[in-house]
Amino acid sequence: MDGETCKCSQRFADVDDLGPLQEILERYRGEKGALIPLLQDAQEAYGYLDEKIMRALAKGAGYQLSQLYGVATFYTQFRLQPIGEHLIRVCHGTACHVAGAELISEEIYNLLGIRDGETTPDRKFTVETVMCVGACSLSPIMIVDEDTHGKLKPANVRKVLKRYMGESEEREE
Amino acid sequence: MSGNGRTKLVLGYGTCGIAAGAAAVKEALEREVSAGGYDLELDIAGCMGFCFREPIVEVFYPDGRSVVYGDLTPKKVPQLLQAAAAGEVLEDWVVRRSDDPTAGEGDFLANQHRIVLRNCGRLNPESIDEYIALGGYEAARKALTTMTPEEIIDEVSKSGLRGRGGAGFPTGTKWGFARRAKGDQKYLVCNADEGDPGAFMDRSVLEGDPHAVIEGMIIAGYAIGATQGYIYCRAEYPLALKRLDIAIDACRERGFLGEGIFGTDWNFDIKIKKGAGAFVCGEETALIASIEGKRGMPRPRPPFPANEGLWGKPTNINNVETLAAVPWIIANGGDKYAELGTEKSKGTKVFCLAGKVRRSGLAEVPMGYTLRQVIFDVGGGVREGKEFKAVQLGGPSGGCLPASLLDTPVDYEAITATGAIMGSGGMIVADSSTCMVDLARYFLSFTQAESCGKCVPCRLGTKRMLEILTRICEGRGEPEDLERLEVLAADIKAASLCALGGTAPNPVLTTLKYFRNEYEDHIFHHKCTAGVCPALITVKINRDLCSGCGACAKICPVEAITGEKKEPHSIDPEVCIRCKLCLSRCPEEAIYAE
């Protein structure tokens, strides 16, 4: 998480491969109250919590599936759907809100044709609204993968996103 | 900090610095130092608090002087290194000079009194040796080897320290409850689930001085009789988590954590629990449920966590800032801490200045300073010379205060009397471009989304309030709506199970109290004077300023803007959807909303 390393090439494990899940189950075997770390590690390995993973996790760790689902849907960190290649998180903390985060989101929606929480049909981008990332002095902010882009104006959003659009698109710097 | 006769450059390397580009500056520094063969030492530190000038480098000269430079880029690095090696000062870039407190933005620090932030920006948070060199772990050693638990609790009580997470409960009293609670196993929890939007002091302390928090926990654990500690930290703070991991490992190696610590027969260890994103988990009983692996929902109290907490055992929960103050209090004495502050609020408080303030960053001031002193003397006032309109204190649980209350002292009781709360210390400054109704709607949309849903007043009450606020912002407000809001607010405050619901109406109540005219403008005159609420504004082009470049027409998603090239353009109000995208596109700033 150090610095601005782009993780766009990161590959998640396939949800049909339960190998990584077995490792995770071993890691927390016998630990009290490990349900949340189990889900966190599973999501880190697979990118999201697929139903197959949830079922295997419930069985392997001795939980009811409903218990897992209850926890996974309570906390905002967990996702039950896969995300696109690049994750755009637009900060809507107070400082960002006052600085016009709404307009940044609108511009992203305009450019990508998706709304909050959605993924583009080509699975390139997922956009979501997040609450305060704690870098208020740079507001308004969006974080693409691990890179923070601060002091944004709606008019520069296109330029920032272009960098993540891949080789096929022309680069405009 | 520069003890070996070499000039040392310390780069601010907290989340805010990295977000502003410190990683690229770090790379450039490393590359240029070796390429240029400079005899300079490089190091990193946490956030110094000058967030508004990040990325920041502080140069420490062998003679003890230091200079802080801001707004660095990789391009500026060669010039910086040359000057540092030659012992020269680049006057134009100076943020602060140790030998001239008036230079640059020096008064930002000069007007502060740093206890909690004593080491932030001064040491490498990944080095336990630097912490020890500044006297670190001496307080824990003193407490464990020369004081009884009761003496420690007395000392903390004497200091007058109150819970910095927001509630302001006396820390010594709280420790006393946990000390006296009966149980074979007790727990100590550090609440680092900093969920208030606009508050980032806990993150800064964890990233900049993690050992101060760990040392505070060692002392607290011994005082209450807890052998196991937990740090419940947001998963959204990866750098804080990483530095805590490094710090805890280093402590185990030194025998500061584990069995028989500091050569005594006392055992204490710390586990990190990552939060998964739920604002309500800042509430003690919800936090406990979350550590136990459940949905983070609060439960009625009593029993209080001091008697029945984590896994049914006596548990004491303190906030990051509270714990970070403890080593200082043990080292310097409770009386010394109590010299600062007001009659009932002692010591210092860290505030996060953000929004339309000129210097956004970390400000630690003695209690009793007025809001005006914090915002104007430390924060430098409102950005771009605009007029101060309001300050929002305490996040979604707090309130908005107008200019007439700027002389209110920072003191738990005085702030509560205004209808706001001290809270965790977020301070968002608003100017004339902020709509107070929209701001209240924003906070309600936050609390409504974060309500855990367990109790009806909070679950349904916040939803109804949000509906009313939304329709007022959309120009569909009804004359009775203001009274409806007040009735709902009173009921939600009185009947909610926990503090999330109990304080959720505060942003609405304070804006109704101090900015009622804005609500009335929205409802009766269909006007949003701040130019924020899309349904109540018109976007216009000042024809005298427009150069006819056509940039606005190009970005307009609905083709509402027309005009000949090099001729003033105009916006068709029938077509315009008031998205305001064109405003930031105009190079002449000719487009405005009213």
pLDDT tens digits along B81-138: 999 999 999 999 999 999 998 899 999 999 999 999 999 999 999 999 999 999 999 9
Would you call A71 and B295 a contact, using CB atoms and an 8 Å cutoff? Answer: yes
Model confidence at A173, pLDDT cuts 50, 70, 90, reads: very low
CB atoms within 10 A of CB A5: 12
List the single range of A110-114, B173-177, B463-467 with lowest mean pLDDT: A110-114
Rounded to 5°, angle at Cα B284 from B278 and B290: 50
DSSP notation for A55-76: HHHHHHHT--HHHHHHHHHHST
Q: Residue A97 and residue B439: Cβ atoms within 8 Å? A: yes
Average pLDDT over residues B373-402: 94
User: What distance in Å separates the CA atoms of residue A111 and residue A156, rounded to the nearest whole number?
Assistant: 12
> Which chain A residues have a beta carbon less than 8 Å from that of B237?
134
Nearest one of B378, B386, B422 to B403, comparing CA atoms: B386
Is 80 exceeded by the pLDDT of residue A1?
A: no
Q: Is B531 on the interface with A (CB under 8 A)?
A: no
Question: How far is residue B167's CA from residue B231's CA, in Å, rounded to a whole number?
Answer: 19
Q: Is the sign of the CA dihedral B535, B583, B429, B496 positive or negative? A: positive
State the Cα–Cα distance between residues B417 and B402, nearest whole angstrom. 14
Cβ pair A131:B197 closer than 8 A: yes
Q: Which residues of B touch A154 (CB under 8 A)?
A: 555, 580-581, 583-585
> Which ranges of B225-301 would DSSP assign to H, the alpha helix?
238-254, 284-291
- Angle, vertex CA B113, rays to CA B109 and CA B114, nearest 5: 90
Which of A4, A103, A150 lies nearest to residue B23, judging by beta carbons? A4
pLDDT digits (tens, 9 = 90+) for B234-264: 988 999 999 999 999 999 999 999 999 999 9
pLDDT > 90 in chain B, percent: 92
Confidence check: pLDDT of B585 > 90: no
Residue B451 has pLDDT above 80, yes or no: yes
pLDDT digits (tens, 9 = 90+) for A139-153: 999 999 888 899 998
Element (H, E) at B348: strand B348-355
Strand partners, A142: A90, A149
Paired strand residues for B42: B9
Answer for the pair B101, B346: CB distance below 8 angstroms, yes or no: no
Identify the CA nearest to B16 among candidates B42, B44, B55, B73. B55
B426 beta partners: B352
Considering only CA atoms, which of A113, A138, A117 is closest in space to residue A126? A117
B334-369 pLDDT per residue, tens: 999 999 999 999 999 999 999 999 999 999 999 999
Cα–Cα distance between B490 and B26 in angstroms, integer?
A: 53
- Whether B276 and A40 lie within 8 Å, measured CB to CB: yes
- CB within 8 Å: B278 and A76: yes
Judging contacts by C-beta atoms under 8 Å, the chain A residues touching residue B443 are 94
Cis peptide before A140 (omega within 30 of 0): yes
